[in-house]
Amino acid sequence: MSAPDSARSLHFETTCVHTGVDKDPGFLSAITPIYPTSTFRWDDLIHNRGFDYTRSGNPTRRALEENIAALEGGIDCRATCTGMSAITSVMYLFAPGDHIIAPADIYGGTFRLFHNILEPMGYKFSFVDMIDAENVKRAVTPATKGIWIETPSNPLLRVTDIQAIVEIAKGCGATTIADNTFLSPYLQRPLDLGVDVVMHSTTKYLNGHSDVVGGAIITKHKPHAERVGYVVNALGTACSPFDAWLVLRGIKTLGPRMEAHQRGAQAVAEFLAQHPKVEKVYYPGLSDHPQHALAKRQQKGFGAMLSFDVKGTRADAERFLTGTKLAQLAESLGGVESLISYPETMSHASMTAEARRKAGISERTIRVSIGIEHPDDLIADFKQALER
């Protein structure tokens, strides 16, 4: 049921290509087949072949789950239909009355779920600035049952010290959950740093081609694995066999894609940092980023998300955002094509203007998801958009 142990001795890139693949005993197809069936025949009243109904389990989805569990170093994984359904499902590790500490600059959709849906149901949340772990320590109460980690943060790429947060959680018996969407397991493995549960929006780097929405929950303790498996079946949040197949297909190139992504991000960040029309660049790979050393220590690379403030006014930001020819103005991230977005009216529109300013997001802040295009072409595109 869990990731095969043999996968552990393979290199990451090899695991991406091979784990969970041999799911066709009938014809030995080289690639995992899609099993688009809602139900499975039983041999008799007692025996089936391991699957009975696709909400509960499906061979294609199971292949993806084995693959992602191995990539994150967990004992089990459940693949869900969106990142948000992964978060919804994993929150059933807690109950009303429980207190959960979460980052103040958490992903907007997660904030909406926690604040607008779960808080009225009796869950308690403290949203704190996790850059200083002392803030987390101060927020702990006798009811604290969970600590949510998301690093680097969106959109300003602030880096949280995962091990420092894990220490605090151990001290108060809280379960740690890390949203690892921004880096993927190729660049950061929170379970190795002591985190209990990892979740992903597979919509982003794991699938990597902007053609599916999906999520995943990876566990490393048996009680968590059993509870999450039970909840995903009970809630009906599992993903379709076709979506599972697409994500499994995308993951095969995760390693080479991440290398190409961050090669471009580093080049673009360095170009922007020296451009006279740019005020400030937020990218952990720049040596003047406040958590550059921490990022270097806990990540295998700096990823491909970056933000920057243009000089001037909102109009200057708008001129850039509507002036690129390669980079597309769109939400989301993690695909092979570069996307630019405007947190003010897009990803962070659900925050009040005051909350955005407090978080450091201005009317001149632009977020970029660097794709795998050649860096020189991206730089030329950004240059003409800045200077037009």
Ligand X SMILES: *Cc1c(COP(=O)(O)O)cnc(C)c1O
Q: Which residues are catalytic?
A: 55, 107, 179, 204
Taking the least distance from each CB to ligand X, the nearer of 32 and 237 is 237
Region of 23-31, 103-111, 189-197, 297-305 interacting with ligand X (CB under 6 A): 103-111
Tokens of 313: 């006014």
Region of 63-71, 80-88, 255-263, 267-275 interacting with ligand X (CB under 6 A): 80-88
Among positions 177-216, residues that touch ligand X (CB under 6 A) are 179, 181-182, 201, 203-204, 213, 215
Q: What CA–CA distance (Å, rounded) separates 23 from 3?
A: 14
Crossing angle (nearest 10°) for helices 59-72 and 241-251: 40
| Nearest-approach distance from CB 87 to ligand X, in angstroms | 7
Please tell me the count of residues contacting ligand X according to CB under 6 A.
16
| Nearest-approach distance from CB 271 to ligand X, in angstroms | 25
How far separated are the first and last CA of the chain, in Å rounded? Answer: 56
**The CA-based dihedral angle spanning residues 242, 243, 248, 252, taken in that order and rounded to the nearest 10 degrees:** 110
Binding residue for ligand X, selected from 109, 194, 323, 360, defined by CB under 6 A: 109
Cβ–Cβ under 8 Å, residues 247 and 64: yes
- Which DSSP state fits 80? E
Taking the least distance from each CB to ligand X, the nearer of 182 and 271 is 182
Centroid of chain to Cα 237: 17
Q: What CA–CA distance (Å, rounded) separates 298 from 291?
A: 11
Please tell me whether residue 102 adopts helix, strand or coil conformation: strand
Cβ–Cβ under 8 Å, residues 130 and 147: no
Cβ–Cβ under 8 Å, residues 154 and 103: no
Taking the least distance from each CB to ligand X, the nearer of 114 and 123 is 114
Binding residue for ligand X, selected from 3, 71, 84, 93, defined by CB under 6 A: 84
Cis peptide before 120, with omega less than 30 degrees from 0?
A: no
Q: What CA–CA distance (Å, rounded) separates 205 from 324?
A: 23
Taking the least distance from each CB to ligand X, the nearer of 23 and 115 is 115
Q: Does residue 80 belong to the site contacting ligand X (CB under 6 A)?
A: no
Region of 176-184, 187-195, 230-238, 247-255 interacting with ligand X (CB under 6 A): 176-184
Among positions 335-374, residues that touch ligand X (CB under 6 A) are none
Residue spans of beta strands (DSSP E) within 129-173: 144-150
Tokens of 164: 């420092």
Q: In the stretch 36-75, what mask flags binding to ligand X with x, by CB under 6 A?
A: ----------------------------------------
* CB-nearest residue to ligand X: 83
Cβ–Cβ under 8 Å, residues 146 and 123: no
Taking the least distance from each CB to ligand X, the nearer of 94 and 111 is 111
Taking the least distance from each CB to ligand X, the nearer of 112 and 311 is 112
Binding residue for ligand X, selected from 107, 111, 123, 271, defined by CB under 6 A: 107
Taking the least distance from each CB to ligand X, the nearer of 209 and 311 is 209
| Nearest-approach distance from CB 237 to ligand X, in angstroms | 11
| Nearest-approach distance from CB 217 to ligand X, in angstroms | 12
Identity of the residue numbered 379: I
Taking the least distance from each CB to ligand X, the nearer of 214 and 241 is 214
| Nearest-approach distance from CB 108 to ligand X, in angstroms | 9
| Nearest-approach distance from CB 200 to ligand X, in angstroms | 8
Binding residue for ligand X, selected from 32, 67, 82, 151, defined by CB under 6 A: 82
Residue spans of beta strands (DSSP E) within the chain: 76-80, 99-103, 124-128, 144-150, 175-179, 197-201, 215-219, 278-282, 305-310, 328-329, 339-341, 365-369
| Nearest-approach distance from CB 332 to ligand X, in angstroms | 7
- In residues, how long is the chain? 388
Q: What CA–CA distance (Å, rounded) separates 283 from 268?
A: 10
Residues that bind ligand X (CB under 6 A): 82-84, 107, 109-110, 150, 154, 179, 181-182, 201, 203-204, 213, 215
